[in-house]
Structures are given as C-alpha cells and as structure tokens.
Amino acid sequence: MNISWIDGVIVLAYLALTIFIGFWLSKRASKNIEAYFLGGNTIKWYFLGLSNASGMFDIAGTMWTVSLLFVYGVKSAWIPWLWPVWNQVFVMVFLAIWMRRSNVMTGAEWILTRFSGRGGKMSHIVVVLFAIISTIGFMAYFFEGVGKFATGILPWDLSVQLGSISLTSAHSYALIIIGVTTLYTMKGGMFSVVAADIFQFLIMSASCLVIGYIAYTSVTGEQITAAVPEGWKNFFFGWELDLDWSEILPAVNDKIESDGYGMFGTLVMMMVFKGVFSSLAGPVPSYDMQRILSTRSPSDAAKMSGFTMLVLFAPRYLMVAGLAVLSLVYLQPMLAEMGSSVDFEVILPMAINEFLPVGLKGLLLAGLIAAFMGTFAAFVNSAPAYIVNDLYKKYIKPNGTAKEYVRMSYIASITLVVIGVSFGFVAGSLNTLTLWLTASLYGGYAAANVLKWIWWRFNGHGYFWGMLVGLIVSSVKLTFFGSVVDIYFFPVILGISFLGCILGSLLTPPDDEEVLMSFYRSVRPWGFWKPVHEKVVAQDPTFEGNRDLGRDAFNVVIGIAWQMCLVIAPIFFVIKERNSLIITLVVFAILSTILKFTWYDHLKTVDEKSAYIVHGNQDNSES
C-alpha cells in the first residue's frame, strides 16, 4: 500500500500520544496495586464501558468478521455466537452484580471467597493457570492478526534476517505495535488503559462512520445483488446454509466446506448449547472481569456491561458491513486471481488500500491500530494481576512494598508478552486460533464455573479437577483431533469436565460452612443453595434469598435479541435492505422499552440488597 505523508503523520502522532498518556498517568497508577490494576475503584461506569468496548474492538476479530460477512452474508451475524457474543447479556443482567459484590481484585482471588481449605488453594492456582494460558493464546491470536493487517496496509518492507532467524514484515510490524502497547500499559496501569481506550474508541467510531458513509454512497443495491449468491441477504436460515458461490467466486465454496458450517441449523443449535453454559460460567479471568471488578458498585458493574454492548456493536458492524460490501462489489476480480489460495482474512486491508482517500486512510489506520492496542493493552493490564496478586503477593512475598508489587507487574507483563509473541510466530490462521480459544479451551472452563454459582455442594476439589481435566482435554483436542470442528467437540470436553467436577466434589468433604454462608450472604446467587440458605436465615431471619431467576432468564432472552438488533441494523443499512432495517429498528425500540422496566429500573435496589464493602477509598468517588 502507498500511504501519503499525511497518513503517516496521523498514525505516528497517534502512537506518540498513547505513549504520552501512559507516562503521564504512571505516577497515579503506581501508588499501589489496587490503583495499578483496578484504578482504585474510582473510575465511572460509563468510562469503563467505553474502555471495555474498545478492548473488544480488535483488528484480528474485525478481519475475521469482515471475512465472515463476505462469505456467509447476513447469516454471518449468527457465527460470533461461537464466543458467544451474548455472554455480555448474562453479565449485564446478573453476573456483573454477583461478581462485584465479592469486592476482590482478580478472578482467582474471587475463587477464595467461594471455596476453602486445600481445595480452595488448588482452585485458586488452577484459575491463575487458566488466566495465563488463555492470555498467551489471545496474545498469539493478536500477534497473528496485527501482523497480517499491518503488512496489507503499510508500504515498508521490514523483513529482517537475524542470524538463523528470519523476521517477515508481518512479524516486525507486530513486534513494533505490541512493543508500544506494552510500554504505555505498563507505565500507566488501569488509568492508562482506560484513558487511552476512550481516546481510541472515539477514533474508531469516527473511522466506522467514514467507512459506512463511503460504502453507502459508493455502492447501489443492484450492484450488491449482482455480486452475491441467492440467499446472501437472508438473516434467517434452515438446516443447510444454501449458499452457492460456484458462478461468482468458487473459492468461497471451498472456504465454507473447510469451516464446516454447511449444516448451519446444526451449527446454531450447538452454539446455543455451548453459549448457555459458557455465558452462565461468567467472564473468563481477563480484561472483561477486570473492568467489572474496577467499578464502584454492583449496579455500576451491570450498567457498564450493558453500555459496552450499546456503544460497541452498531459502529463496529457499520464498518464491517462497509468493508465487506466494497470488497464484494469491487475486489472480487482481485480475489478470483488468487484462485484456491485466496486468503479471506486479508479482505480488510485490501479494502482500505483500495477505497480510502488521503487523510481518511490515516485516520482509519490509526483507528484500527488503536483497536488492536486497546484489546492487547487490556490483556497486558489484567493478566499480570494474577501473577502479582495471586502468586507473588500471596505465596512468595505477602509483606512487600507497593513499589515492589508494581515493579513485579512490569516483569510479569513483559514475560507474558514475550511468551505470547513466541507462540504467535508458530500460530496458524486466525480462524484456527479463534475456534480453539472459543470452543475447546473455554469448554474446559464452562462446567466448573457454572457449578460454582448454582450448587452449594460443589467444592474446591471439584473445581480444581473439573478445570484441570478441561484444560487437558482441550489441549488433547488441539494436538490430536485438529481436523474435527471445534464446536462439535465442545460437548465432549464439557461432559468430561462435568464428570471431573462432580466426582471431585462428592469424593471429598464439603467446603467450610462459614465460607459458604459468607459467600451466599454477600453474592446472593439463585440455584441449589437450600441447606446454606436455611443456616443463613437461622442466623438472620430478615435475610431474603434471590428469587429473580425467572426475571433474569426473561431478561437474558430479551437481551440477546436486543443485542442482535444492534448487529444486523447497520448491515441492513449498508446493503440497502430498507424494509428489514425498519423492522429491526422497531423491534429494537420495543426490546429497549421492555429492558428499561424489567432490568434497568431494578438496578436501583441492587446496591441496597448487596452486603458488600466498596474496594478502595469511597471518598475518592470521582475519577
């Protein structure tokens, strides 16, 4: 790609500004590890929501999503259920409230409020292990994505030969961007991450609007119809995908076959099955959980999670739809020349190179680099908390100074980045990494983390063995059953994990009664807690259990449909499906009204019912 000096200046100015933000906020962040990792619980919920949205707006995911829309059409809106994207709805409705009531710093520390004794220690360690492994996997995923993206949009050849080691341009670009991100995140901690994320989100939103406008004004509905097969514009589906690209771009049929998504109805059923368990398990120990624990109260945690979805999906899918449509209409000849070796994950940089004018190209490049940096920075900030707070402080040096803990966080950040980048060098495609992270690795996480909420007899030993078995089986799947579509292997991993959980619990004594009662009193989950509930009521007859299961389940269903409207409305807008757009907007308005009465209004009583102590200095309530 040829970029002008104006575009280059915009990108370089952005990189310099983010480094400045990190150093500017370093003094405030280095007071103690609470300030470094949680911002001292003083940051407002809507700032954290913008930060969380920025963290989810990554380059690799955007490249993947653009390729999905190009290949699968409007039905591609269902495929991110692989994560599933609607785990945020579960978090918004009730899980964020439950988690924030615990008043801890990390997901591993949270485990010790639920489990006790030797089993609690074992559970604590396995959560730290999962956090580290998943972070390394995501860092490899980001390394692969940003390198492929940068090579497609930046003109300079940065390939280097270091002795026997050959660095391609993709590797060099990825190392530079990752290095800058790591530097500003290490210096400023959570304050730096949130401040940079808000700035990055504004850039990305502006970029999305620009691309949406260019696509909408550059392509007609007739051009789109001519460039796609029959059924491409249909949102709903049958058992089979029924998309035939043979007459337009035959290589797309090969892509669909290799993905294993031809039986689309079965795929969606499996995604729903997996999604319910994965979502009920709660956020994995990473940046999303860290944002929840950083809020000032349980109700703020719920608002933050809902706000994240509201500001994220519409602008992101406006850009995704714009780039996919421009590529469909104008880039098909270039893709056809690649033959069977076409790489659909490079559609995004190809579209940027082809369609954006001087100045706007630099803004978008800065925005997309910001998207990567925001996500990567979130992991660089959250994962070291597990090493410093849950390993070093707890087991090695519990009486260390604040300065020493912050210094250790620097070391932990650098170590994790180096390991993650090393794995990125040998990673496969983005799709391979995505499927392993979402279907296999998280399959081992789901069982234990569902039971921890809903079953009082589930103990630390069961949690440890369920998580450990899940990690082992997901690794075996990756190594020996790589040809099996990950989502279809999920029930196997989940079933073996559940077996480990149940046997581990029933073959060992229950957890300490006081720990269970304390957890139940403060978090107030619904589920199978009758023996513990009776003991709590015996001590405090005024205590009321959680009777919100029905309302929470209803709000989850409404929330999933509400979120899907945010995804498909910008797609229908860009492809000029006016009737579908109007119907989607009407449904969105109705669902928003329902959620206002059934979810938002009830948040007023959440903090009153919460037996929690705000982590940090309540007098410092303004960020």
Residue from 41, 147, 153, 171 nearest 102 by CA: 41
Q: Which residues pair with 162 in a beta bridge?
A: 165
Residue from 172, 149, 142 nearest 160 by CA: 172
Give the span between the Cα atoms of 288 and 293, in whole angstroms. 9
Domain 5-23+34-441+546-609: CATH superfamily, name plus number:
Sodium/glucose cotransporter (1.20.1730.10)
Residue from 443, 447, 441, 69 nearest 271 by CA: 443
Residue 170: pLDDT band by 50, 70, 90 thresholds? confident
Residue 612: pLDDT band by 50, 70, 90 thresholds? very low
Give the span between the Cα atoms of 530 and 429, in whole angstroms. 48
Per-residue model confidence as pLDDT tens digits over 270-302: 889 888 888 888 776 666 677 788 888 899 999
Number of H-type helices and E-type strands within the chain: 28, 2
Domain spans of the chain, in order of start: 5-23+34-441+546-609
Per-residue model confidence as pLDDT tens digits over 373-419: 766 776 776 777 778 877 888 878 888 887 788 788 888 888 888 88
Please report the pLDDT score of residue 622 as a whole number: 35
Q: Who contacts 573 (Cβ-Cβ below 8 Å, separation ≥6)?
A: 212, 216, 318, 321, 581
Tallying the residues shown for the chain, one arrives at 623
C-beta neighbour count of 419 within 10 angstroms = 15
Percent of the chain with pLDDT over 90: 26
> What is the average pLDDT across 436-447?
63
pTM: 0.80
Per-residue model confidence as pLDDT tens digits over 459-513: 999 998 998 888 788 777 766 776 676 677 788 888 999 999 999 999 999 999 9
Which two three-digit tokens encode residue 260?
């294993």
Per-residue model confidence as pLDDT tens digits over 130-163: 778 777 777 777 777 777 777 766 777 788 877 6
Per-residue model confidence as pLDDT tens digits over 175-187: 888 887 777 666 6
> What is the average pLDDT across 18-34?
60
Buried b / exposed e across 54-85, counting CB within 10 Å, b at 16+? Answer: bbbbbbbbbbbbbbbbbbbbbbbbbbbbbbbb
Q: Which residues pair with 165 in a beta bridge?
A: 162
Q: Who contacts 506 (Cβ-Cβ below 8 Å, separation ≥6)?
A: 457, 462
